[in-house]
A = this chain, B = another copy of it.
Amino acid sequence: MATQLVVDIHTHVYPPSYLAMLRARKTVPYVHDPAEGEPRLIILSSDDDPATPLDQRGRPVDTSYSDINVKLAFMEKHGIHCSVISLANPWLDFVPSPEAQQWAERINNDLDSTCAQVNQTSDPEGTKSATEKQTLFAFGALPLSAPSSVVVEEIKRLSTLPNIRGVIMGTSGLGKGLDDPALDAIWKALEETQLLLFLHPHYGLPDEAFGGPEAVSRYGHVLPLALGFPLETTIAVTRMLLSGVFDRFQELRVLLAHSGGTLPFLAGRIESCIMHERKFVVNGGDEPGPQRSIWDVLQTNIYLDAVIYGSAGLQAAVAAGSHDRLMFGTDHPFFPPLQDEDEKWPSVTTNYKAIRSCFGEEKADSIGMVLGSNANRVLKLGLE
């Protein structure tokens, strides 16, 4: 039996130049170098709790964040043949224009050339099969603080770089969320280039949603990461839907992080609330409201990663979208093992296990699609 192709479409990097920029900062996001021990990465506002000593804030940042060889070793250990790397949050959201434009070009060129080097080194003759070598592709970063025309130009440029297959974006857009009509030029450029938009959370929810800063702090990262992140994604994509983004840009393709946040589970409730909303024209109100069904959007425009750590969630993701729109991911280098650094990462094996148990032996084809062939097709990776 041929080895099953495995593609990781949710895996992040902080290029050394980006980390250097963070190291020069003193407010979130920043890197702090303690007198002893590993540097600390403080990227979430909840990381920057003044009650926590500076040397203990955030999380330790080791070479897995920036050294591509560490990524390649991680891939080898976990049976991953191809990774589609993306800049980790918060991308360039905090970088003012015009620096953002320069940083986007620099990082995107870095990503593309890193992929090119790895691909060349791994298969110098171009003769190996996809499962005999290591292959990298990348999602680019956008300079969202720059004028729209600059962002559009960068999208067009990205579509010409050989190893770029999409862009990664947070939920703030130009600062007003993803239902901002000022984003239309960007949606249009993504639609025209058919670059996949990887929509990823970063900002979570206000502390008040969790009962205030003390309630959040008591449980470390659990509330912001386990709930804040997926809820942020759900809110962002729902606002896109409600404002008609998917009506105006019916060819826009969006990959939602963490299996859509909670979108597959809540899609029915969202649809029902739309049908019952007196404010929308169809019910006699003044607001247009979305024209297309959420189920149609889930099965036409939206792709989901399989980073959900359980077959219960995965079943909803399959049912709401389809087994051919779901793609394996790891979220590397986040969620490393805390106990035994040499073991396979439980955060990765849990997702492998969930995929296998969701489909079972009678649907083995679907397992292969989720693990690799969907990504190969959707992102036109050309892996054989």
Q: Are A223 and B235 in contact (CB under 8 A)?
A: yes
Q: Are B221 and A313 in contact (CB under 8 A)?
A: no
Q: Kindly report how many copies of this chain are found in the complex they form together.
A: 2
Q: Are A222 and B267 in contact (CB under 8 A)?
A: no
**Alpha-carbon separation in the docked complex, A206 to B258 (Å):** 23
* Given the contacts A206-B209, A269-B308, A338-B283, A264 and B226 also touching, CB distance less than 8 Å: no
Q: Are A312 and B320 in contact (CB under 8 A)?
A: yes
- A233-264 interface bits toward B, Cβ cutoff 8 Å, 1 = contact, 0 = none: 01100110011000000000000001100101
Task: Indicate if A315 sits at the interface (CB-CB under 8 A).
Answer: yes
Identity of the chain B residue whose Cβ is nearest the Cβ of A260 in the assembled complex: B265
**Alpha-carbon separation in the docked complex, A93 to B160 (Å):** 59
- How large, as a class, is the contact surface on chain A? 35 or more
**Closest CB of chain B to A215's CB: distance in Å?**
6
Chain B positions within 8 Å of A150 at CB level: none
Task: Indicate if A79 sits at the interface (CB-CB under 8 A).
Answer: no
**Closest CB of chain B to A333's CB: distance in Å?**
12
Q: Are B272 and A347 in contact (CB under 8 A)?
A: yes
Task: Indicate if A280 sits at the interface (CB-CB under 8 A).
Answer: yes
Task: Indicate if A279 sits at the interface (CB-CB under 8 A).
Answer: yes
**Closest CB of chain B to A60's CB: distance in Å?**
9
Q: Are A225 and B273 in contact (CB under 8 A)?
A: yes
Identity of the chain B residue whose Cβ is nearest the Cβ of A207 in the assembled complex: B206
Task: Indicate if A311 sits at the interface (CB-CB under 8 A).
Answer: yes
Identity of the chain B residue whose Cβ is nearest the Cβ of A203 in the assembled complex: B209
Chain B positions within 8 Å of A242 at CB level: 218-219, 222-223
A-B contact pairs, 15 of them (CB 8 A): A59-B278, A220-B280, A220-B287, A226-B238, A230-B262, A231-B231, A259-B265, A262-B262, A262-B265, A264-B265, A264-B313, A269-B313, A272-B309, A272-B335, A312-B319
Known: A269-B313, A310-B320. 13 other contacts (CB 8 A): A205-B206, A209-B235, A221-B277, A222-B277, A223-B235, A225-B273, A226-B272, A262-B265, A264-B316, A272-B309, A272-B347, A272-B350, A278-B338
